[in-house]
Structures are given as structure tokens and as C-alpha cells.
Chain A
Amino acid sequence: ETGVTQTPRHLVMGMTNKKSLKCEQHLGHNAMYWYKQSAKKPLELMFVYSLEERVENNSVPSRFSPECPNSSHLFLHLHTLQPEDSALYLCASSPKGWFSETQYFGPGTRLLVL
């Protein structure tokens, strides 16, 4: 148990649906991240929030929309996704600002887009 939780753990959605992924960290960390992990591809950084401010958007399509209402919570809003967006979405946090410390990962949300 790393202190980073994600819900839901599994999600199946159609291309016209709107859904949200939630991440919560109980570690008092200042930075939070969204990663995408597809089969046979390296882990891809999507977004970084440091002290609730977005500091990195790694050329992610607009159908993915992050939200960080406070330093403990991070959301990823999904709409009109494509089948190629099916992947494991991992949330991570780090203590003292982004990438200045090691990252702790949540269990991930496995997403299937039909």
C-alpha cells in the first residue's frame, strides 16, 4: 500500500461516454502525475500538477482533461475517447515538487474503450 488510491480500478466505456478517473494521495505530497501505460510501450507521462498548478501537459489530446482541486486529489475527465486510448492509467505523487523526489504510484485504472 503506497498511500495513493485510484478509482475505479476497471472501466469500460463507449466512445460517446463521459467518465472520470479519480486519484487520491494520503502522503502529504505536493506533486501529482497522470501516466498512460499501453501494452508493449513505455510508460508515458500525460500531466503533472505541482501545488495544484498544472506544470506539464505532454501533448495530450483534448479528450483527456485533468483537474486538481487540491493537493490530495487529481481527476482525469474522459470524453469521446478512441479504442486506442485503452490502457492502464496510473496516478503518482512525489513529496517536494515535481520530479525532485521519487514517485509513488497508485494501483491504476484499467480502461477499455469499445
Chain B
Amino acid sequence: QKEVEQNSGPLSVPEGAIASLNCTYSDRGSQSFFWYRQYSGKSPELIMFIYSNGDKEDGRFTAQLNKASQYVSLLIRDSQPSDSATYLCAVKFPAGNKLTFGGGTRVLVKP
């Protein structure tokens, strides 16, 4: 069983629309959740982190966490072509203190 799962995509979104990305994780005791963006050929860069149930907004990005259902999502509002990238979900599992990454969701924003 994969520990952190994401749909690999590609998720095709028209410019200006909302992109919705989902991530599920296996360890119910997980406390910290991160979203990284990785452009093709580049390294991952952190865009959001969330620790508490509910929503956290930062600019056009909103992270949503539901620990009971063991999922975390990322919404990108007013999607721009520059948002086209792979989005990696990462979860800090309590055992071993490791940060485990999902396989990433590729997002393609079409003008």
C-alpha cells in the first residue's frame, strides 16, 4: 500500500479556472502536510504547509486538511499557464520522523 497517494494526471485546467488536487495518506497519526511545486527539470519548491484541520489560504492557493478522512487537497484559483507544473504532496509520518512524498500530480493550464 502506497503511503502517500496522488493522481498522476495530467490535470488539464482552462486558464482562470480552479485546479483541485487531492492527496491521501496512510498514517492516521500524521501531523504535518506540505505541498511542493516542481517545474519540469527543476527542483521542488514549497508552496504551502498545513497542520490543522480546515482550510489555509495563501494568495491563490488554498490547502484543505481532513485528518478524519486522511486527505489533504490543494486548490489553485484563477489558474495561470505559469501554474503548469507537477505538484508534490508530502506528509510527515510520526514513526521515524520521515517526510514521505507522493508521486505528484501534473497540472496543465491551457490558455
A residues contacting B by CB (< 8 A) are: 2, 40-43, 45, 56, 58, 90, 98-99, 102-108
Contacts and interface: CB of A to CB of B under 8 A. Distances in A.
Given A2-B45, A42-B4, A106-B43, A99 B98 contact: yes
B87 interface: no
A42 B90 CA distance: 10
Nearest to A100: B97
B88 A90 contact: no
B43 A102 contact: no
Nearest to B98: A45
A2 B44 CA distance: 11
12 contacts: A40-B103, A41-B103, A42-B100, A42-B101, A42-B102, A42-B103, A45-B98, A56-B96, A56-B98, A90-B44, A99-B99, A103-B46
Interface string B90-108: 1010001111111110000
A69 to B, nearest CB: 23
A99 B44 CA distance: 16
A5 B90 CA distance: 22
A66 B20 CA distance: 38
Contacts of A58: 98
Contacts of A103: 46, 99
Contacts of B102: 42
B49 interface: yes
A102 B49 CA distance: 8
Interface in B30-55: 34, 42-46, 49
